[in-house]
Amino acid sequence: MELKVDLGERSYPIYIGEGILDDIVDLFNKHRISKLSPILLVTDDQVAEFHLDKVLELLLKGGFQVVSSIIPAGEKSKSIAQFEDLITVAIESGLDRKSTVVALGGGVVGDLAGYVAASYMRGIAFVQIPTTILAHDSSVGGKVAVNHPLAKNIIGAFHQPELVLYDIATLRTLPERQIKAGLSEVIKHGFIRDADFVAWIDHNAYKLLELDSEALEFALYHGCRIKSIIVSQDERENNLRAILNLGHTIGHALEAVAKYNGLLHGEAISIGMVGAARLSVLLGNPEHIYTETKRILRKLGLPIQLPKQLDIDEIMVAMMHDKKFDSGRMTFIIPTEIGEVEISNQVTLEQVSQVLEQLKQ
């Protein structure tokens, strides 16, 4: 399947399919990835173990010059230090303006390598080969970044890739928890904009969890499609794009309080989406928004309650740190139906803390 992300002259295709990596040379040639300038291929040590040799071999056989750089797996690698190391490799390997940075990995590799591509010589070509389900989210929208010790994703840019190559086969080596966590962001896109897609996920949850090829292709295609429609309307997040943050206000605070230990991003977002649904009911929307959200997320094997050890006051502080709020009211993305959301700035701190209490039970 091929999906075009429509951004005027920055438009690009996402190729999704089982075994699509076998076509990497043809697709690189089609998209004029330079053979005369070195490619910097960035991956992490876990992904390298399973998928680097194949990609490297295909590209070298296809006549590309490739320098590969393997970073330690994990969020810690999204750092200025790691960014600087990659820039050093780029300079020492003679990357020039016609060079391309290729990210082979999940969102961490994609964000870091993308930021290298955005910065090196004020921007060179970038290609993404996502290897997690969650990275369907980062393969659309062009946000690239590294973290600062005081704030996540605070140093970054918008830099769209030339193309994205999403091979379902690479997902088969993912740990089970990462599969579920990735599906949390897939269904988020359904909850935001597409009730039919939510119903489809509900019916096909088991197939998705078993990594059925056709089901995954369909799910990733529609996850990317929904995000790309929203991003096309608001590339630089002036307003509409904020709806993509469904579940993220509570989710980010949970991640901060859990210090990223024991809670994956997708898991935190799952709990955050249940929280947003509960808030919705509190604001007068129908109860089934909450019960259905909870039921479907549970079916996907995702957490729907707050871990007991987390302190609600601490979560509230983290949330206030992360978000602007006006006279005791916060802005939240609130589901108004399954498949529809609104941006509400009417949520009170009391309502949020009440919902967090309920999520603990």
- Smallest distance from the beta carbon of 212 to ligand NAD, in angstroms? 17
**Does 5 sit near ligand NAD (CB under 6 A)?**
no
CA 117, CA 104: separation in Å to the nearest integer?
14
CA 7, CA 231: separation in Å to the nearest integer?
8
**Does 134 sit near ligand NAD (CB under 6 A)?**
yes
Do the beta carbons of residue 71 and residue 44 sit within 8 Å? yes
Binders of ligand NAD among residues 186 to 215 (CB under 6 A) are none
- Options 73-81, 274-282, 304-312, 332-340: segment touching ligand NAD (CB under 6 A): 73-81
CA 128, CA 107: separation in Å to the nearest integer?
10
- Smallest distance from the beta carbon of 34 to ligand NAD, in angstroms? 25
Catalytic residue among 180, 222, 245, 292: 245
Of 99, 131, 228, 249, the one binding ligand NAD (CB under 6 A) is 131
Half-sphere exposure of residue 288: CA atoms within 13 angstroms, side-chain side: 3
- Options 24-32, 54-62, 86-94, 166-174: segment touching ligand NAD (CB under 6 A): 166-174
- Smallest distance from the beta carbon of 73 to ligand NAD, in angstroms? 3
Catalytic residue among 78, 189, 225, 265: 265
**Does 106 sit near ligand NAD (CB under 6 A)?**
yes
User: What residues are paired with 68 via a beta bridge?
Assistant: 41
Active site residue 217: no
143 among annotated binding-site residues: yes
CA 201, CA 203: separation in Å to the nearest integer?
5
210 among annotated binding-site residues: no
CA 61, CA 55: separation in Å to the nearest integer?
10
Do the beta carbons of residue 305 and residue 271 sit within 8 Å? yes
Half-sphere exposure of residue 128: CA atoms within 13 angstroms, side-chain side: 33
Measured from the CB atom, is 88 or 173 closer to ligand NAD?
173
- Options 103-111, 118-126, 197-205, 300-308: segment touching ligand NAD (CB under 6 A): 103-111
Residues 6 or more apart in contact with residue 199 via CB below 8 angstroms: none
Active site residue 237: yes
DSSP letters for 102-170: EEEESHHHHHHHHHHHHHGGG--EEEEEE-SSTHHHHTSS-EEEEEETTEEEEEEEE---SEEEEEGGG
CA 346, CA 10: separation in Å to the nearest integer?
36
- Options 86-94, 133-141, 245-253, 293-301: segment touching ligand NAD (CB under 6 A): 133-141
How many other CB atoms are found less than 10 A from the CB of residue 357? 11
**Does 111 sit near ligand NAD (CB under 6 A)?**
yes
Catalytic residue among 222, 227, 278, 294: 227
- Smallest distance from the beta carbon of 42 to ligand NAD, in angstroms? 11
How many other CB atoms are found less than 10 A from the CB of residue 304? 18
Catalytic residue among 78, 252, 278, 294: 252
23 among annotated binding-site residues: no
- Smallest distance from the beta carbon of 353 to ligand NAD, in angstroms? 26
- By annotation, the residues acting in catalysis are 122, 143, 185, 227, 237, 241, 245, 248, 252, 265
Binding site for ligand NAD (CB under 6 A): 44, 46-47, 50, 73-75, 78, 105-109, 111, 131-132, 134-135, 137-138, 141, 143, 153, 170-171, 173-174, 178, 265
